[in-house]
A and B are shown apart, each in its own frame.
Chain A
């Protein structure tokens, strides 16, 4: 009887994963609100949205899409690596994922920087001069990609924690749910971009 009174660390991987999935639902709904606003304004101002999208740099956007897709693959490979007890490879793969996330942000920085350079940013004088459809398009562009970039940063923090945990072996071949959840979150960040890219850059 008495041994039951001592606190045994309760572990339920299924529960952790279920919790992460539920959290991902909330993230999807958070962006869902924005996609709703996007669809309403796009149906109201279809030509302005098309013209606005021509101002974006499709090359950088496509490059960033590739970068995120590859990073999703590397983090998925990290899960397989940890299951095969290959700690070194796991660390390398998480490292590559982090590097790719960083590349994404650098691209984003230059992309936004160019817009800022032309005086195009929320609250700027140029934005005030735009007609309504263009104004809404660029507001949505900055709001949606900005919120997404914030999620990239949160995802990177999660991955850094994962990296440290793999390093000091609190994530191991038989206990890697934290890595799985980190990867799930990273896939979410990737998935949202997969929707953002065509909706923002490829409007015809």
Chain B
């Protein structure tokens, strides 16, 4: 074995010093950190914008901002959260850090391309942020940029769509990198069905990133050309069709939902067996359900458009497909719960986050079925029911999975341990605050509270007040969590190599890992979750 002192990737001295050692590094672990800090900063900005909207909505009429400012804020909140936080989120941070390690590789296939993707991401994000401060004012179209309004509004839509285009390109390159990595760099002896399940979910995600993102890319280019030259594709006056924009937009943006949630499911699938000390139930079913979600997810975009004008046949067909895509998600939930059955459960913070994820994701998923059936969808279309539904999936699902992954892998990434009491407090605050914030929106949504409205009838105020209180609790939970983790990263206790007694490859390495990850080829187990 290696007798020399272990040098972690955090201490490793490369060609460059100081900040250059980070922003010029092609090490997948350092790139993961670069993404994480950038995304954390954007997330805080997005969260503060969300909180501002909550304060605006605490009473009917104008409270703290003008209607146009409100339009700008919900658009910016959407663009930041979707394109800069949630879509890159799990795959760029934990995917970059752990995909190579989990499959026993030293890095991704194209390390330089990986760094280039980060630069594209930062460039796109800078443009998106810039669009908020230009003279023409922040875009006010909502993150969906629906034509024809987006082709006529005087706000900085072109910059914002260019930003989304560049962010999409970055996402494509990350996906491309991961697919090639999974195909080419698995450790000797590791077949596809010996891989842990997080790499499986990343692999499925990467295919969606690769195949869906170009479609939104061309759509945004058409939108830009529409604004610059009046090409008329989406303008009925010139023979075009605004509904065509919606189709093209959702052909990408529905699969994008699975870009967000699949890696989240992958993280949860890593966490549950570790804290139950039990082989994951139905390994193959979980692996294949990721691919099934990725595949069927391409064919359900029409369920965003039941009220936009589609034929009767198209509507029931999209509805049927939407119900079908719920099946593989449900398979995963059943398998997680079956894994816990008779396991020796250890209620560590990461596991609590995973439990919160399952609960919130199920509410999000079941309300998704309500939206998937045409008749009920038409009733609640464009109400706060939708807002509640997708926040349960995106924040309750992907967000909580991110926090779970952060608490699960933190000791491996930093080599230090956080305070469990504070972590437990933040789980509870986030969970309570989250439900208080979004659950009332389901109720007033059914009663007719429209989404994206600045004003509302006084009879909805009780729910808006509850939501705002929930928002504050949620924010406190966030602050405590971030404080706890930052403190731990600086001065936490030294973490052992395998604090949770995990069985996958990352726990066989010292914490944090060395720059090359593996000094010798790792031993590959037949089933990565073998605790016997």
Instruction: Decide: A143 and B211 in contact? CB cutoff 8 A.
Output: no
Instruction: Decide: A122 and B180 in contact? CB cutoff 8 A.
Output: no
Question: Which B residues between 214 and 234 are near A, CB-CB below 8 angstroms?
Answer: 214-215, 217-219, 221-222, 225, 228-233
Could you give, for residues 191-229 of chain B, a 1 whenever the CB lies within 8 Å of some chain A CB and a 0 otherwise? 000000000000000000011011101110110010011
Instruction: Decide: A37 and B244 in contact? CB cutoff 8 A.
Output: yes
Q: Known A19-B176, A36-B248; judge A26-B238 contact (CB<8 A).
A: no
Residues of A within 8 A of B229 (CB): 122-123, 139
Q: When the two chains form the complex, which single residue of A33, A131, A140 contacts B218, counting CB atoms closer than 8 Å? A: A33
- Please, how many angstroms separate the alpha-carbon atoms of A23 and B169 in the complex? 11
Instruction: Decide: A15 and B179 in contact? CB cutoff 8 A.
Output: no
Instruction: Decide: B233 and A139 in contact? CB cutoff 8 A.
Output: yes
- Please, how many angstroms separate the alpha-carbon atoms of A193 and B153 in the complex? 35
* CB of B519 closer than 8 Å to a CB of A: yes
Q: Report A134 CB to chain B, min CB distance, Å.
A: 9
Q: Known A14-B184, A133-B239; judge A1-B2 contact (CB<8 A).
A: yes
Could you give, for residues 128-167 of chain A, a 1 whenever the CB lies within 8 Å of some chain B CB and a 0 otherwise? 1001110110011011000100000000000000000000
- DSSP class of A's interface residues: helix, strand, loop or mixed? helix
Q: Known A12-B184, A37-B244; judge A27-B214 contact (CB<8 A).
A: yes
Q: Known A40-B244, A136-B239; judge A122-B215 contact (CB<8 A).
A: no
Q: Known A22-B179, A26-B172, A123-B229; judge A12-B238 contact (CB<8 A).
A: no
Q: Report B12 CB to chain A, min CB distance, Å.
A: 10
- Using CB atoms, name the residue of chain A closest to B215: A33
User: By CB atoms of chain A within 10 A, which of B172, B177, B213, B214 has the most?
Assistant: B214
Residues of B within 8 A of A136 (CB): 232-233, 238-240
Q: Known A122-B231, A123-B228, A136-B240; judge A33-B184 contact (CB<8 A).
A: no
Residues of A within 8 A of B185 (CB): 15
Instruction: Decide: B219 and A18 in contact? CB cutoff 8 A.
Output: no
Instruction: Decide: B239 and A41 in contact? CB cutoff 8 A.
Output: yes
* CB of B284 closer than 8 Å to a CB of A: no
Instruction: Decide: A18 and B184 in contact? CB cutoff 8 A.
Output: yes
* CB of A34 closer than 8 Å to a CB of B: yes
- Please, how many angstroms separate the alpha-carbon atoms of A98 and B211 in the complex? 30
Could you give, for residues 511-522 of chain B, a 1 whenever the CB lies within 8 Å of some chain A CB and a 0 otherwise? 000001001100
Q: Report A116 CB to chain B, min CB distance, Å.
A: 13
Chain B residue total in the interface (Cβ 8 A): 41
Residues of B within 8 A of A117 (CB): none
Instruction: Decide: A143 and B239 in contact? CB cutoff 8 A.
Output: no
- Using CB atoms, name the residue of chain B closest to A121: B229
User: By CB atoms of chain A within 10 A, which of B106, B214, B239 has the most?
Assistant: B239
Q: When the two chains form the complex, which single residue of A1, A27, A128, A132 contacts B239, counting CB atoms closer than 8 Å? A: A132
Residues of B within 8 A of A45 (CB): 239
- Please, how many angstroms separate the alpha-carbon atoms of A30 and B229 in the complex? 20
- Using CB atoms, name the residue of chain A closest to B237: A132
Question: Which A residues between 53 and 90 are near B, CB-CB below 8 angstroms?
Answer: none
- Please, how many angstroms separate the alpha-carbon atoms of A15 and B520 in the complex? 22
Q: Known A25-B210, A29-B215; judge A19-B109 contact (CB<8 A).
A: yes
Could you give, for residues 19-52 of chain A, a 1 whenever the CB lies within 8 Å of some chain B CB and a 0 otherwise? 1001101110111111011001100110000000
- Please, how many angstroms separate the alpha-carbon atoms of A18 and B238 in the complex? 42
Instruction: Decide: B214 and A15 in contact? CB cutoff 8 A.
Output: no
Q: When the two chains form the complex, which single residue of A22, A30, A31, A132 contacts B176, counting CB atoms closer than 8 Å? A: A22
Q: When the two chains form the complex, which single residue of B4, B231, B519 contacts A143, counting CB atoms closer than 8 Å? A: B231
Instruction: Decide: B244 and A29 in contact? CB cutoff 8 A.
Output: no
Supplied contacts A41-B240, A133-B239, 12 more A-B pairs, CB within 8 Å? A14-B184, A15-B184, A18-B183, A19-B177, A23-B176, A29-B211, A33-B219, A37-B233, A40-B241, A131-B239, A140-B231, A143-B231
The interface of chain B, by Cβ under 8 A from chain A, is 2, 4, 106-107, 109-110, 113, 172, 176-177, 179-180, 183-185, 210-211, 213-215, 217-219, 221-222, 225, 228-233, 238-241, 244, 248, 516, 519-520
Nearest 7 pairs of A and B residues by beta carbon = A132-B239, A122-B229, A33-B218, A139-B231, A29-B214, A123-B229, A30-B214
10 A-B residue pairs with Cβ-Cβ distance under 8 Å, sorted by A, are A12-B109, A15-B110, A22-B179, A26-B211, A33-B218, A37-B233, A122-B231, A123-B230, A133-B239, A143-B225
The interface of chain A, by Cβ under 8 A from chain B, is 1-2, 4-5, 10, 12, 14-15, 18-19, 22-23, 25-27, 29-34, 36-37, 40-41, 44-45, 122-123, 127-128, 131-133, 135-136, 139-140, 142-143, 147
